[in-house]
Amino acid sequence: ESLFNVEDRIGGDSELSPRGHAFARSLAAFMQTRRTEEPITVWTSALKRTIQTAQYLREEPISNRALDEIDAGVCDGLTYSEVRRRHPEEFAARSKDKLNYRYPRGESYADVIQRLDPVIIEIERHERPILIVGHQGVLRALYAYLMDTPPRECPHLPMPLHTVLELTPNAYGCTERRFPLAC
């Protein structure tokens, strides 16, 4: 949880909230219990909140701009009610087609899905477990790809805060486990 999450603001590059820091510590403790023979690779975005979430892990995180949250363009830093009030047409257009709607001077979910192509190639050829400390929009897109969810559903997938989603490849796709951590 970032300070922007607390205020219900989208985008930005805010720091973690106290609860976000508590989660970061729980995550480090949790990862100790999931330790495997193979070393784990840790990826974050280039934004403070994911870098701070990974700060207590034993592994050295690699930050990647391709994992940054959907760019909300002119709506960056606003709350959803401010978007509705200041940009009513944008708010309505996004509610109609959240997959293809592109924020003015920003991105759509379809753009994010495309931007993540090289990340997906890297995930698929990686042989070790990867921990991705990400953002709601980006994690939705990665999850939809790995779980073979239709793109139209991607922008609406539940992606709870303070939860580790473990996806393990199997013969048909991935097995999923969710671990909500105390914080």
Residue 10 or 16: which CB sits closer to ligand G3H? 10
Nearer to ligand G3H, 4 or 43 (CB): 4
Tell me how far, at minimum, the Cβ of 133 lies from ligand G3H, in Å: 14
Task: Find the residue with minimal CB distance to ligand G3H.
Answer: 136
Q: Measured from the CB of residue 92, what is the shortest distance to ligand G3H in angstroms? A: 14
Interacting residues with ligand G3H (CB under 6 A): 10-11, 69-70, 135-137, 155
| CB of 42 closer than 8 Å to CB of 112 | no
Among residues 17 and 28, whose Cβ is nearest to ligand G3H?
17
CA dist 21 to 1, 15, 25, 49, 162, Å?
8, 9, 6, 9, 10
Side chain identity, residue 17: S
Cβ at position 147, least distance to ligand G3H in Å: 18
Q: Please tell me the distance from the alpha carbon of residue 74 to that of residue 68, in angstroms, as a whole number.
A: 17
User: Considering beta carbons, is residue 69 or 90 the nearer one to ligand G3H?
Assistant: 69
Please name which of 99, 146, 96 lies closest in space to residue 121, comparing C-alpha atoms. Answer: 146
In the complex, minimum distance from the CB of residue 4 to ligand G3H, in angstroms, rounded to a whole number:
8
Phi, psi of 62 (to 5 degrees): -110, 125
